[in-house]
A and B are shown apart, each in its own frame.
Chain A
Amino acid sequence: MNNKTPQPKKQPANTHLLDLSELSTQYIENIFESTELMLAQMRKSKPSKKESGSLSILLAFFEPSTRTKISFQQAATRLGHQTVDFNIQGSSLSKGESFLSTLNTLNSMMFDILVLRHPHSGAADFASQVLNCPVINAGDGTHAHPLQALTDIFTIRQTLDSFLGLNVVIIGDIIHSRVARSNIWGLTKLGSTITLCGPLVLLPEKNDLSVFYNKNTHPRSSIRIETSLKKAVKNADILMPLRIQKERTNNIEENDLSVYKKNYRITEKVLSLAQKNAYIMHPGPINEGVELLGEIAYSNKSLIFDQVQNGVALKMAILEMLRSQLKERGKFNK
């Protein structure tokens, strides 16, 4: 077997789904339109229209996941595709096989799509250079989670009129959040203002945000940093509290948590400072009572369950887009 050496990408753009940093607004809009159709079919409890050609999808999750994986399985099932679950616990990796070797092995098995979650930032980029099939990044380290961010942005689009001038406040453990990063890339293409709020130990430095501005940034978009939750949520349209990722940090001690709750937990009172029709979103899993009170998570101010449902429809849309791309290029593995 020929082991492939990772190479800078030569494949056509949009073959893989690695992050929102490299997607055009047109591409994002196409995904959203397709997501709407998928969602409509789902809600009518109709079986989705099965297009020709079922895909063989490998779900390789090198890190625990509940909703992303199940939601992918559900999306694939509804479209009549087959998923294969790569179980890390019983794999050769636990026997010392290298990541490259595992990827080359999986490549030889001719899957149509690889869905990858990995604890290392850049793992999806690396896999995309080794594999012949499209790679979907289902979360790589603290780098990117395009599926979640696209779902979040779709949910905002579904709920509010426009992205222009929209104030989105992301609260909490920003430095360890791949969801926050991907949302920043996406929302700054669409004209929204993003406020990152939390204690300084969980925030990037102001200067760190410079690299998010490029030719694709919407002229009306900006990213700011605010340590005061009160100030941050003023005029907010969307509040997005995040879970503190204790598994990735030693910045937060147990006794800091009570201080965190005091300063950053989303309560009725905090919510009252935002826009009248402000909404709460959360990528999950929620640590109820820490970053968010349960009664708010389940209130009519919450879009959390819309996010979950939209997540299935969005994955269906992405699978459908990749399927038609593969068909066009005659690249079906079977």
Chain B
Amino acid sequence: MILSPGFIDLHCHLRDPGFEHKETVQSGSAAAAAGGFTTVCAMPNTSPVIDNTGSLKILQQAISEDALIRVLPIAAITKGQQGQALVDFQGLLKQGVVAFSDDGNTLEDDHLMSQALLYSKEFSFPIISHAESTKFTTNGQMNAGPLSFALGLEGRPSFAEEIVVARDISLASHIGGHLHIAHVSSLGAVELIRTAKNKGVHVTSEVTPHHVTLTERAVCHDLTTGSISKDFIPNIYNANAKVAPPLRSPKDVAALIDAVEDETIDVFATDHAPHSYEDKNTTFQSAAFGISALETALSSLLLLVSQNKISLKTVIKKLTQDPAKILNVPLGTLSTGSIADIAVFNPDQSWRVSPESLYSKGKNTPWLGKTMLGKVVLTIANGEIVYQKK
């Protein structure tokens, strides 16, 4: 058994308000608790979008009534996430917003991005960038490469991520502010962030458990990450592995793991993106983007530990202490006097990922049907037991 500070997720989608058929604050926070998380940051792409204090109140009402754990709101950078006009950063910060992001939409307007970074500099908060140039991703379904060609699916090239990361870093290096790159997925983006950090630019970054444990081959139900097997024939489509940015090549995965080790990537964040049965059970092209990840995050990261690719210490640090640092909150620690947020897990316990085993309404995970190692047995949030394995 391992006892750890409760996990902190910088990036999840609770879908509440507006998309309650996909997830609610109640079901999402139950899933988080079952995954060992005691704090999650909720992305603002709800309906209405969290872009003003009015819609923020609706979310906060739901949080105060239904949340089992701490839910911290992230607000949009632009009104309606439309990339046209900035939100009232100061007003939203006063009401409890912890960061800003147009997640799902990339803020294409260079000038608006520079202005947002100026506000970030003035009021000290992270601007979280979903870095994928929309011109290259409008119809893209999966990573651009051999597999997308064979499957006849339009690709999302890794340079679509790189060019936006390069722009964001350039702006941050000249303007300042705190730039946080969400769900880094490519080798090129890793290199850009590493160089920027070495130059002293205030940039932080996150990677999801799926981007470090799965390759694009998951689209064909192949969850191995090594070099391609001679038995591999790309002839099946798994929409549960459809995500933006996409799962990439083994080279990218290796670079992401290196970047976790050398601190280029600061934290693990789930990008938990639950979807309903109908949203995913259709053709790959019609299916929604996203992976339900709160409950498989720990198990998939422990897979890397068992393969000696990263240490258990790194996994825990990047799920607790490091995200707390980015949010600048006194959480993610077991030191005397700190808030009692605790996760206890058995790294050797196996469990089968099935629709019934998940608290989240979103059963959309490429791990579905697989047996994983590592299960949370007890989660304590703010001194109260919020999850206990039956």
Contact = CB atoms under 8 A, between A and B. Distances in A.
Interface of A: 5-6, 8-9, 18-19, 21-22, 98-100, 118, 120-123, 125-126, 140-144, 175, 178, 181, 204-205, 207-212, 214-216
B145 to A, nearest CB: 7
Q: Chain A CB within 10 Å — which of B221, B232, B237, B285 has the most?
A: B237
6 contacts: A5-B281, A8-B369, A99-B283, A122-B151, A122-B285, A214-B232
Q: Chain B CB within 10 Å — which of A9, A123, A178 has the most?
A: A123
B278 interface: yes
A332 to B, nearest CB: 27
A73 B284 CA distance: 29
B230 A211 contact: no
B91 interface: no
Q: Chain A CB within 10 Å — which of B232, B234, B283 has the most?
A: B283
Given A21-B235, A22-B235, A208 B230 contact: no
Contacts of A144: 152
Given A99-B283, A120-B283, A121-B284, A211 B234 contact: yes
B302 to A, nearest CB: 25
A209 B152 contact: no
A142 B148 CA distance: 10
A98 B230 contact: no
Given A125-B235, A125-B237, A214-B231, A99 B149 contact: no
Contacts of A118: 283
B235 A208 contact: no
Nearest to A9: B236
A214 B232 CA distance: 7
A142 to B, nearest CB: 4
A18 B235 contact: yes
Given A8-B221, A122-B153, A144-B152, A207 B146 contact: yes
Contacts of B236: 8-9, 125
* Dominant SS among interface residues on chain B: loop
Contacts of B285: 120-122, 141
A5 B232 CA distance: 24
Nearest to B363: A5
A204 B147 CA distance: 11
Q: Chain A CB within 10 Å — which of B152, B231, B278, B286 has the most?
A: B152
Nearest to A211: B146
B152 A6 contact: no
B228 interface: yes
Given A122-B285, A175-B149, 6 more contacts: A8-B221, A125-B237, A181-B152, A211-B147, A211-B232, A215-B231
Contacts, number: 91
B153 A209 contact: no
What bracket does the count of chain B residues touching chain A fall in? 20 to 34
B146 A141 contact: no
B250 to A, nearest CB: 12
Contact of A100 (B221, B231, B238, B278): B278
Contacts of B2: none
Given A22-B233, A211-B228, A120 B221 contact: no
Contacts of B284: 120-122, 126
A249 B235 CA distance: 23
Given A5-B281, A100-B278, A126-B283, A121 B153 contact: yes
B329 interface: no
B282 interface: yes
Contacts of B153: 121-122, 141, 143
A19 B147 CA distance: 15
B157 to A, nearest CB: 10
B149 A211 contact: yes
Contacts of A211: 146-147, 149-150, 228, 232, 234
